[in-house]
Chain A
Amino acid sequence: MLQDLLSVYKSKLSGQTVLRAQRNLSRGVSIQSGNVRGNSFSVGGGLSARVYDGGYWGIASDTTYDEKAIDGVLSSATRNAKLLSTKLGVKSPPLPVSRPGKFATLPNENDAEQRAVMDFTRALDAYIVKKYPKLAARTVSLQSEAVEKIVVTSDGADLYSILPRSMVYFSLCAPAPDGAVVEYIDYESGIGFIPECYPSPETLFGKIDKTYETLMKKCEGVFPDAGVREVIIDSNLGGMLAHEAIGHPTEADLVRAGSVAGANLGKTVASELVSITDFANTAYGEALPQNVLADDEGTAARDVKIIENGVLREFMHSRDTARFFGAEPTGNARAESYAAEPIVRMRNTAILPGKDKLEDMISSVDDGYFLVQTGNGSADLTSEFMFSVTMGYEIKKGKLGRAIRDTTVSGVAFDMLKTVTMVSDELRWLGGGSCGKSGQSMPVGMGGASVKCKITVGGR
């Protein structure tokens, strides 16, 4: 457990100062066609001080974590901020208050031994080899990550947090009838360290079987017909849709940078069936992948109702963007590492469930696609977004047809979301995703219902 050397400094912090110690733990084993290619554990940690002075920030960081280093980063950060404010003059008033308090997740020291992770991964690989010996290639990866931090601020906030998550990936390859080697990747994620998420390898054998069955269908798959198509986006992808299409354009730093969302606050930007929320830590009484009680500025985290019944309601804020927009900080300022600057990031972003049944949604499509698995995605200031689709099916006259090969879908969020005509009554959370922004990779939760909409599909 990260030693608390910071609390004693809380009463000594002056001005608007945040002191943060953080360590990122990563453990993993990867077996590639029988060869152990990954067998590692790493700890990246250190501390940083961040000082705000007259509209300028001073940051200093060090990988050493002791009293001398704490004094050093406080001194350097204060000097950096003062250098700018002295040279350039005061440009902004103080930051808004951060709703300070004492926040703490439960400590968690349930990380697995490396031997157990290795044995577990070997058991998964052995199952695949024995049951599916004709695969062209296979990779099994078992990983856990945890971000542990202590944050104290001059406003009086005091946070201890550890957010572990575990992921298991299966990548299976098989030859298709057309001679191509086809790959299908599926994964599971859980909240907690490996022993908490996966009690035994046997609990994942069903997932392997499903991955193989899906691969076989994909081998027989066809390339989709490119163009604007009516699609059902499965709940498995719904979170990606919420994250990329709406989440990024409504991060207040990107709004300030010119995102089209800025001109649409209070306006109808989507079908009234669409509601999207960035949850701080729980939803519907359920613990979420990112349990953010307070952010890296010490702000108590609250849910952000981005879109309610199709109307754009609010943006996600740090203290700085809240000051700029005259809004309230929402607890979305998060940093990848001890040395990184906290910036506006999503926590657990979801498209909220509607009232439709998935089977009714599929049967309502005459000619389109059912998109069920994704790999990655991106979005920009115009709200144009994309995400890859690594598994899907044709829908013909309301029935699922042939599988489709890898493709990509794209759209302009504020146009596409107006085409939503059905939203399913389910909500599925994925916790294994990471989001890249400004050079920082951040663990995020994504949740989704299934939606019926029109979207641009790539293909041949």
Chain B
Amino acid sequence: MKTKLMGVAEYALSELKKLGADGADVSVSYGCSDGLQADYGVMSLMQTSIGASISIRALVGGRRGNYAMNGIDGESVDLAVRSAIEAAEVAEPDEAEVIAEGFGDYDYELGPREGVPEKLYDRAQEFLDDCAREYPKIAVEKLGTSFNASHGVYANSNGSRYYGRGGSYRFYAGFAARDGDKVSPGSGFSYADYDLDKPALAREYGRRVLGDCVRQLDPAPMEGKFSGKLLLSPECFQSVLSMALSLGASDGPMIMDISPWKDKIGEVVASECLTVTCDPFDPRLISPPRMSDGHILKTQEVIKGGKLTSFMLSRYGALKTKLPRAKCSSCAIVRPGGRSVKDILADIDDGLLLNDFTGGSPAPNGDFSLVARHSFRIRRGEVGEAVNETMISGNIFDMMKNIVGISSETVDDGCLMPWAAFEGVTISGK
């Protein structure tokens, strides 16, 4: 497969050059998957997918054009090449639009080449049986298991030739708790792994979400408004941290010069207990990227002891802002703290355990107003009743400075994050 995909990429590069491209990069991918799905607790669907795609970025006189499509036959590739060139020809020249320097050849393979079909069925049925026995109030709406195999190449006009092959299983379950006429909000969890050897319920994350779901059958609206502490689950902490890093350190706000962190390298932007590293090589990650933006990724520290050590700029963003390019801006991992979740919880007199939220994006200055989901009231160090119609509001950058605890425990099911507690957030209800 590598030879075939690389051949397509080489052909596209050659044609792009003939049509006047000064530089180009081409990505070609092929994937296939087999999946099984249960609906409403019963096996119901088997699916097979095959797909190939190409995407091209062409530079003509410093002007960039992009084109992407499914299909990698000769006719499709010719169309993709012509369309990318046409797009480039109408753009403005931009000196920050460059092709990444060549890195030569780079190959990697992760995960099995083929899945075991029986595992898809056995794990799915096992989860349904386990749930029915251990969580009788849980109604599984949708459950899926799949094996996904992918091959991808990247080639650019500066000599980079990259090939990656990945194979992994995916499990997902969506469910709600029901008891008579009562129903909880819909919930779920998913994970990827190189095998399906362990039952889904062997994962702490899955059991936590199922248990929380049952406890949401009897939610109570929050009354009033107060400034309190939030204890964020690892998954929720990941979402909040992503919002802060996106608004403070990523291309858009930095190029437009509206990031509150724009001149804060070396300065305190968060509580000193926060250290964030982007590490695509952490062995706990399943099928992490090895290449992005035309570069082979390397480990990148972003925040150390609360001080901003790097922005998360792409090559384009780096050239626009004249700041260093990030060696990696994905796979963010937070260093665990020194206290247990139990100890951190014990310090919260009045607050909220926030498992998820919905709402609009924060404002450029970090102000946010969100609705708590799957969340519980905390009083005197104990997690209490589920809440609904509960809002949280504050400022995401202030939150980063108001971290009062990061747990020693982390969740390893994809997000590699600890629990974290914050103070000074407005919590309001009816």
Contacts and interface: CB of A to CB of B under 8 A. Distances in A.
B73 A460 contact: no
Among B40, B65, B178, B358: residue with most chain A CB under 10 A:
B358
Interface string B271-300: 000000000000000000000000000000
Given A61-B50, A341-B47, A456-B391, A382 B184 contact: yes
A67 to B, nearest CB: 14
B69 to A, nearest CB: 4
Contacts of A256: 40
Nearest to A136: B258
A372 interface: no
B258 A181 contact: yes
Given A263-B181, A381-B186, A405-B363, A118 B91 contact: yes
B146 to A, nearest CB: 12
Given A43-B70, A456-B429, A58 B141 contact: no
Nearest to A44: B70
Contacts of A77: 48
A380 B374 CA distance: 11
Interface string A359-394: 000000000000000011010111010101110000
Interface in B82-100: 83, 86-92, 94, 96
Nearest to B429: A456
A46 interface: yes
Interface in B252-282: 252, 255-258
Contacts of A58: 45-47
Contacts of A263: 181
A408 to B, nearest CB: 4
Given A382-B388, A456-B430, A257 B186 contact: yes
Which interface class (under 10, 10 to 19, 20 to 34, 35 or more) fits B? 35 or more
B176 A341 contact: no
A38 B358 CA distance: 27
A35 B254 CA distance: 13
B53 interface: yes
B255 A257 contact: no
Contact of A458 (B68, B258, B428): B428
B91 A80 contact: no
B239 interface: no
Contacts of A44: 53, 68-70
A259 B186 CA distance: 9
Contacts of B393: 223, 226, 407, 458-460
Nearest to B394: A460
A432 interface: no
Contacts of B91: 36, 39, 118
Interface in B379-394: 388-389, 391-393
Interface residues of A, number: 80
B258 A173 contact: yes
B307 to A, nearest CB: 23
A433 to B, nearest CB: 14
A61 B183 contact: no
Nearest to A218: B363
A33 interface: yes
Interface string B176-192: 10100101111000000
Contact of A61 (B49, B52, B320): B49
Contact of B178 (A180, A258, A388): A258
A80 B141 contact: no
B71 A226 contact: no
B58 to A, nearest CB: 10
A182 B181 CA distance: 44
Interface in B213-271: 219, 224-225, 252, 255-258
B95 to A, nearest CB: 11
Contacts of B94: 35-36
Interface string B337-379: 0000000000000000000001111011101111101000000
B293 to A, nearest CB: 14
17 contacts: A33-B255, A42-B55, A63-B71, A83-B46, A91-B42, A114-B90, A115-B90, A137-B257, A173-B364, A179-B365, A181-B365, A182-B363, A228-B430, A257-B186, A407-B369, A408-B369, A410-B389
A-B residue pairs, 5 tightest by C-beta: A388-B360, A458-B391, A226-B428, A40-B66, A80-B46
Given A341-B47, A459-B426, 13 more contacts: A35-B255, A40-B65, A40-B87, A56-B44, A80-B45, A173-B364, A181-B363, A181-B365, A339-B51, A382-B185, A382-B219, A388-B359, A458-B369
